[in-house]
Amino acid sequence: MALLHNRINNEELKKRLMGETDPRTTISFYNYFEILNPHEFRDYLYKHLQQIKVFGRIYVAKEGINAQISVPSNNFETFNSFLYSIEGLNGIRLNIAVDDDGKSFWVLRIKVREKIVADGIADDSFNMHQKGKYVNAEQMNVLLNDPDTVVIDMRNHYEYEVGHFVKALEVPSDTFREQLPMAVDMMKGNEDKNIIMYCTGGIRCEKASAFMLHKGFKNVFHLEGGIINYARQIKEKGLESKFIGKNFVFDERLGEKITEDVIAKCHQCGKPCDTHTNCKNDGCHLLFIQCEECAVQFDGCCSEECKEIYHLPEEQQKEIRKGIDKGQNIFNKSKVRLRPRLNE
């Protein structure tokens, strides 16, 4: 029986990935469909995908699957054939990364979850199959030129900050479960307008469009395949990009350029910058934007305080980290940021 969990440490896995000479392709996909036994399905996926050296992060739930992976390019057809052999996944769209060095993941992790997108919806009458209409890149651009169109970004604050569609409204929260009711409140009085929801790869905006219809809105659309698919379509068709800046992605790259515009600023000095990083202090790991100059000045840390901790002996750092719950440690100007202090 194949080993159904990885048992090699991350550093060794990263070293192996960097030593690979064959190219990899980064792919994301999802689908809402009924999975009767998620644990059994999870093991079935793991057994087959690890044989063809697929790396990445996959979530499985009774409501479907959500995956961000990298596949050795010479195994792509084998992967594609296996995926399409599964009922519920045959023919699904695969979002292929537009700015990809193949080094996005270094291990395969497949987890069973309650839902593939945590939504906080407890209403049994909610139906995911009653969702908004898909729009492709060309249709998105046309609708964006219509004054009766409202565009809602269903991503988190730190994603919106580095890139978004023109006219897009930000729902000011860092969790999808909070954004759903907030989007409904924001759109009260606009029930008859065209409402377009969008996100990174389509999974969040698809559920959001179904929720808006559930709440009585009429003309609801969602961007098929999200920003990733939009970027590919405008490139292939030579269309103007209505998305400006960088698309944040949830892998080692932390972003892929859609246009050359830099719309965000370094959180430390304020100069134009859209490079996300995690604070190197293991007791912090704050996700924030840092320019090259500040990265040198602060040694990749988010503050002088964290820089000071980062240069302490490891044993002393471990003592400081004891009992710290970092939670979702993300830079957001509207929220208080807590960091470990030297005297704590």
* 160-184 pLDDT tens trace: 999 999 999 999 887 899 999 999 9
pLDDT at 323: 63
Q: From the candidates 199, 273, 284, 301, which is the catalytic residue? A: 199
In a domain, 124, yes or no: no
Domain with residue 224: its CATH number is 3.40.250.10
User: In terms of domains, do 37 and 103 share one?
Assistant: yes
Closest C-alpha to 151, from 138, 136, 166, 162: 166
Share of the chain above pLDDT 90, in %: 67
Q: For 75, which DSSP code?
A: G
In a domain, 342, yes or no: yes
Six-digit token string for 286 = 């704050």
pLDDT at 340: 34
- What pLDDT band is residue 336 in, cutting at 50, 70 and 90? very low
User: In terms of domains, do 233 and 154 share one?
Assistant: yes
In a domain, 122, yes or no: no
User: In terms of domains, do 25 and 102 share one?
Assistant: yes
- What pLDDT band is residue 256 in, cutting at 50, 70 and 90? confident
pLDDT(337) > 60: no
Can you give the residue range of the structural domain that contains 205?
A: 133-237
Burial (CB < 10 A; 0-12, 13-18, 19+), residue 335, is exposed
* Digit-coded pLDDT (tens) for 28-87: 899 999 999 999 999 999 999 999 999 999 999 999 999 999 999 999 999 999 999 999
Give the integer Cα–Cα distance in Å for 95 and 68. Answer: 9
User: In terms of domains, do 93 and 181 share one?
Assistant: no
pLDDT at 335: 40
In a domain, 255, yes or no: no
Last residue of a domain, one of 237, 254, 288: 237
User: In terms of domains, do 152 and 105 share one?
Assistant: no
What count of residues does the chain have? 344
* Digit-coded pLDDT (tens) for 208-239: 999 999 999 989 999 999 999 999 999 999 99
pLDDT(334) > 70: no
Catalytic: 205?
A: no
Task: Phi first, then psi: give them for residue 256, nearest 5 degrees.
Answer: -135, 135
Evaluate if pTM is beyond 0.75. Answer: yes
Six-digit token string for 273 = 């910058």
pLDDT(20) > 80: no
User: In terms of domains, do 92 and 157 share one?
Assistant: no
Quote the Cα angle for 169-170-175, to 5°: 145
* Digit-coded pLDDT (tens) for 84-99: 999 999 999 898 877 6
Six-digit token string for 300 = 């990749």
- What pLDDT band is residue 16 in, cutting at 50, 70 and 90? low
pLDDT at 321: 82
Last residue of a domain, one of 178, 202, 237: 237
* Digit-coded pLDDT (tens) for 138-167: 999 999 999 889 999 999 988 999 999 999
pLDDT at 102: 61
Higher pLDDT, 104 or 202: 202
pLDDT at 110: 96
Give the integer Cα–Cα distance in Å for 28 and 92. Answer: 11
User: In terms of domains, do 139 and 232 share one?
Assistant: yes
User: In terms of domains, do 293 and 222 share one?
Assistant: no
In a domain, 269, yes or no: yes
Give the integer Cα–Cα distance in Å for 291 and 272. Answer: 8
Q: Give the chain's mean pLDDT.
A: 87
| Residue 264 and residue 273 in contact, taking contact as beta carbons nearer than 8 Å | yes
Average pLDDT over residues 303-321: 91
In a domain, 37, yes or no: yes
User: In terms of domains, do 269 and 230 share one?
Assistant: no
Q: From the CB of residue 218, how many other CB atoms can be counted at a distance below 10 Å?
A: 11
User: In terms of domains, do 339 and 305 share one?
Assistant: yes
In a domain, 244, yes or no: no
